[in-house]
């Protein structure tokens, strides 16, 4: 216990870790959502800050190795597209409204479609963290496989699902992941729970953005 406490103190005395940076960024967005709800105004997230928070996730995908390379490449490209779009659109809803007007909501490469994929990336990590922190103490492979099956597999082709399944065998061990992230069990638990709570608010806002405009979520 003493060694773990020393490790936590050492970690806290250094610069932010990938996990703490991610948790902090999404908590700030979550706070804006809660402030809007408290003031009884329609909550509409600004696109650029949202993209900047999402871009921090790339470091985490990188730590997961080859198994999540598919997610890292797709996710990074989609966030990049939305960040570029933020030069023209100020909010998430303005992006969706543009595609509705132009009948391009589900068109390959549309901003609305890319936002949907980014949302899935956020949910994938949220589900992975929940599994990782479960009472059963899942291995990273089991936690990641369950998360992928629930969040992404229904929307991927057989070829992609097969490649992902094979890649899961290359995931680092639980202890190695913590080392890669510069975290201990204790600190990772704290930061992952922060992200789980904050990202749930963000994901809900995105889903409501689609639902309120009659756009289904099963795609």
Q: What is the pLDDT of residues 56-73, one digit of tens each?
A: 998 888 888 777 777 788
Residues 6+ apart with CB under 8 A from 109: 81
Average confidence (pLDDT) over 166-175: 86
- Residues 79-91 have a mean pLDDT of 95
Q: Which of 123, 174, 159, 124 is nearest to 145 (CA)?
A: 124
How distant, in Å, are the alpha carbons of 151, 176, 192, 194, 215 from that of 9? Answer: 35, 20, 18, 19, 47
Question: Using one digit for the tens of pLDDT, what is the confidence trace for 4-13?
Answer: 554 554 444 4
**3-state secondary structure at position 46:** strand
Query: Which of the residue ranges 14-23, 59-68, 84-93 would you say has the lowest mean pLDDT?
Result: 59-68
Residue whose token pair is 């050492």:
10
Tokens 């005395």 belong to residue: 13
User: Dihedral sign, CA of 45, 47, 52, 53?
Assistant: positive
Task: Encode 52-66: b = buried (16+ Cβ within 10 Å), e = exposed.
Answer: ebbbbbbbbbebbbe
Q: What's this model's pTM, rounded to 2 decimal places?
A: 0.86
Average pLDDT, the chain: 86
| Domain boundaries, given as residue ranges, for the chain | 44-210
Lowest mean pLDDT: which of 58-67, 141-150, 179-188? Answer: 58-67
Closest-CA residue to 19 (of 185, 205, 213, 218): 185
Higher pLDDT among residues 14 and 116, named by residue: 116
**DSSP assignments along 62-75, one per residue:** HHT-GGGHHHHHHH
Q: Does position 138 have pLDDT exceeding 90, yes or no?
A: no
| Residue 1: alpha-carbon gap to chain centroid | 32
User: Which CATH number is correct for 44-210, 1.25.40.20, 1.20.1740.10, 1.10.3520.10, 1.10.260.40?
Assistant: 1.10.3520.10
Q: Is the model's pLDDT at 81 over the cut of 90?
A: yes
């Amino acid at each position: 216990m003493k060694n773990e406490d020393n490790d936590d103190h050492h970690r806290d005395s250094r610069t932010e870790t990938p996990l703490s940076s991610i948790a902090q960024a999404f908590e700030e967005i979550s706070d804006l959502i809660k402030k809007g709800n408290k003031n009884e105004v329609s909550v509409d997230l600004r696109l650029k800050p949202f993209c900047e928070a999402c871009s921090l996730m790339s470091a985490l995908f990188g730590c997961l190795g080859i198994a999540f390379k598919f997610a890292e490449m797709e996710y990074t490209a989609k966030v990049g597209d939305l960040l570029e779009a933020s030069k023209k659109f100020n909010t998430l809803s303005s992006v969706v409204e543009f595609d509705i007007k132009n009948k391009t909501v589900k068109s390959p490469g549309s901003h609305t479609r890319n936002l949907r994929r980014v949302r899935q990336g956020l949910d994938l990590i949220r589900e992975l963290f929940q599994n990782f922190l479960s009472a059963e103490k899942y291995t990273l492979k089991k936690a990641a496989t369950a998360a992928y099956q629930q969040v992404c597999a229904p929307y991927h082709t057989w070829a992609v699902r097969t490649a992902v399944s094979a890649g899961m065998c290359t995931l680092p061990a639980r202890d190695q992941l913590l080392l890669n992230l510069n975290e201990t069990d204790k600190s990772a638990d704290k930061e992952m729970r922060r992200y789980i709570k904050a990202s749930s608010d963000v994901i809900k806002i995105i889903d409501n953005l689609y639902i309120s405009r009659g756009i289904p979520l099963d795609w």
